[in-house]
Amino acid sequence: MSALNVGSHEGRVALVVGAGSQGGIGLACADTLAMLGARVAIADLPNTPVRNLVEKLPNNGRHSGHHVDVTDAESVIHLIEQVIEQHQRIDSLVTAAGILVMENFLDVTLDGWESSFAVNARGTLLVCQAAARQMIRQGAGGRIVAISSNAGRVPRLATVSYGASKAAVIQLVHCMALELAPYGITANALCPGSTATSMMVDVQARGDPERLEGVIRGSLEQWRTGIPLGHLAEPADQAAVAAFLVSEGARHITGQTLCVDGGQTFF
Ligand SMILES: NC(=O)c1ccc[n+]([C@@H]2O[C@H](COP(=O)([O-])OP(=O)(O)OC[C@H]3O[C@@H](n4cnc5c(N)ncnc54)[C@H](O)[C@@H]3O)[C@@H](O)[C@H]2O)c1
């Protein structure tokens, strides 16, 4: 009987998309994977400082920063080509690119709905598809973690477009896991709960500490449960779970949806 490696990512190449936001979940995933020994390629929109951020990752010197727009199929294919040119392979993929558009149902705009689906759903599809094709070419299996949200499983006020697009990610992962299983590629959805990033603090709570406190406490009028563990998640909490799901130790886990939310949505 031999134990499985749940810790070291030495010798593995990880691509983390949506890792260009300082203090964001994607960058935390890249940081954790780099600390655990992976060579990491990080990617984000052209207006993000990926090339500076990559220099600050642990074991600096063997990672790379790239630009991509996940809504654009050609841009995504170009990203995969660049990563292969630089690192020759992709063993693990974490897709964290996402946007949060907050609109109540009666005020939902087509723009809000379509941009949510373009980034959150189409972007996840395009990145996972291109990376999976590469993993199949390599012939040695692979690991995919798509970051969805607990808002893809439970209703929240003003999150119609966001929640629906994140629910699409969850079902995309289920179907993808089924079809990639014969290739030894696992695919899982990680559903963060409220996590202390700019998306949560600046966009959702609009920088208002009262609103953040309300997220933690919950609110019966707004039909919102609080966080039983009593605080927001840190990006590192999401990263630790993503790193496990793309490790050798998670080789028998696929098609799952895992909420990392301090109990915000357990039922
Ligand atoms: N923070 C939370 O409370 C929370 C909760 C649940 C789920 N999530 C999800 O976690 C993921 C990371 O969010 P975060 O909180 O770190 O937010 P963030 O805004 O810090 O990071 C999102 C990143 O996605 C990138 N991105 C947006 N559109 C893109 C595009 N078209 N192409 C490439 N990159 C693009 C942004 O530039 C940004 O760097 C998102 O998918 C988000 O929906 C966050």
CATH number at 116 reads 3.40.50.720
Give me the DSSP letters along 140-203.
S-EEEEEE--GGGTS--TTBHHHHHHHHHHHHHHHHHHHHHGGGTEEEEEEEE-SBSSHIIIII
Residue 235 forms part of a structural domain: yes
- Quote the percentage of the chain above a pLDDT of 70: 99
* pLDDT greater at residue 201 or residue 94: 94
Tell me the per-residue pLDDT of 16-62, one tens digit each, with 9 for 90 and over.
999 999 999 999 999 999 999 999 999 999 999 999 999 999 999 99
Query: If you take atom 7 of ligand 1, which residue's CA is the nearest one?
Result: 149
Count structural domains, the chain.
1
Tell me the per-residue pLDDT of 239-250, one tens digit each, with 9 for 90 and over.
999 999 999 999
Cβ atoms of residues 16 and 40 within 8 Å: yes
Tell me the per-residue pLDDT of 99-140, one tens digit each, with 9 for 90 and over.
999 999 999 999 999 999 999 999 999 999 999 999 999 999
Q: Which atom of ligand 1 is nearest to the CA of 162?
A: 43
Which pLDDT does position 220 carry in this prediction?
Answer: 82
Residue 145 pLDDT greater than 90, yes or no:
yes
Distance CA 45, CA 68 (A): 5
Residue 7 forms part of a structural domain: no
Residue range(s) defining the domain that contains residue 151: 13-260
Q: Which residues are catalytic?
A: 162
64-67 β-sheet, strand order? 64-67, 39-44, 13-17, 92-95, 142-147, 185-192, 257-260
Residue 81 forms part of a structural domain: yes
Residue 193 forms part of a structural domain: yes
Which residues partner with 189 through β-bridges? 146, 257
Q: Where are the alpha helices (DSSP H) in the chain?
A: 25-35, 50-55, 73-87, 110-116, 123-138, 160-180, 198, 209-217, 235-245
Q: Which atom of ligand 1 is nearest to the CA of 150?
A: 6
* 72, 99, 115, 124, best to mutate for ligand 1 pocket (most atoms within 8 Å of CB): 99
Residue 5 forms part of a structural domain: no
